Homo-oligomer: A and B are copies of this chain.
Amino acid sequence: MVHEVLAAVLQVRYATSGPPTLRVLLWRRALDPHIGRWSLPGGRLRPDEDVEASIRRQLAEKVDVKQLSHVEQLAVFSAPDRVPGPRVVATAFLGLVPTGVDPEVPEDTAWHELDALPRTAFDHGAIALRARDRLRAKLCYTNLGFALAPKEFTVSTLRDLYSAALGYRVSATNLQRVLSRRGLLAPTGGTAVPGRAGGRPAALYSFTGKGIQVTDPFAVFRPPARPPRRPARRAAPS
């Protein structure tokens, strides 16, 4: 049995016009099964590496590894007929590249909008959409935004990144407040120059931490963290 690793590498990219969009790096197959269709980068797992080392190695051919801001396992795809011919089990990954970096990619690869995926090889389209779902969920309850954003950014920029990734308009005001309250944003002191239309110069921010951390672990059923607010208030009548 062959084990392969695949990665849906996502990035929010600015097009020449219109708002930025969430995209996935796809590669046009040159070999026979599903020749010409778009597929996720990846390849065989080697004997001396675990799956994460493997996907990082294989991505190095497409994207400079240092540009990958986040990599995490998605799931195993193992339907016996997921690819024709001898069986191949795949471990799929989500990879993220910050906005702004534009990696040199080979001729046969391109960034495709997740909202308008082309015909993909095998189950790669489904994997890419799973990656998007995972990203959307984690943006809400972790600090994963750091993996989408450049080192320094304005709140407006960040709002655009979140909006593109989540698929709906996010308010800059509230984004600022929520991320600040959680201690994720730090002003760098610098300011951005306003556009030709004017406007107050925006302050620059950066994320405080680099690694992923859960910021909102308990939606409910919080453990009784704090000691009672009012210390023994009950009266003792006689």
Contact = CB atoms under 8 A, between A and B. Distances in A.
B78 A91 contact: yes
Given A76-B91, A78-B51, A168 B220 contact: no
B166 A223 contact: yes
B219 A141 contact: yes
A194 B48 CA distance: 61
A80 B54 CA distance: 11
Interface string A127-140: 00000000001011
- Tell me which of A48, A76, A139, A162 has the highest count of chain B C-beta atoms within 10 A of its own C-beta: A76
Contacts of A91: 76, 78
Interface residues of A, number: 37
Contacts of A69: none
A2 to B, nearest CB: 8
Nearest to A46: B80
A189 interface: no
Nearest to A1: B3
Interface string A142-183: 000000000000000000001000101110000100100000
Contact of A73 (B75, B80, B170): B75
A141 B214 CA distance: 14
A169 to B, nearest CB: 7
Contacts of A87: 47
A216 interface: yes
Nearest to A220: B178
Interface string A202-225: 000000000000001111110110
Contact of A140 (B3, B76, B221): B221
Contacts of A141: 219-220
A104 interface: no
29 contacts: A1-B3, A1-B45, A3-B3, A3-B89, A45-B78, A45-B89, A47-B87, A48-B80, A49-B80, A50-B78, A51-B76, A51-B78, A51-B89, A73-B76, A76-B76, A78-B91, A137-B217, A139-B221, A140-B218, A140-B221, A141-B219, A141-B220, A162-B221, A166-B221, A175-B221, A178-B220, A178-B221, A216-B219, A219-B219
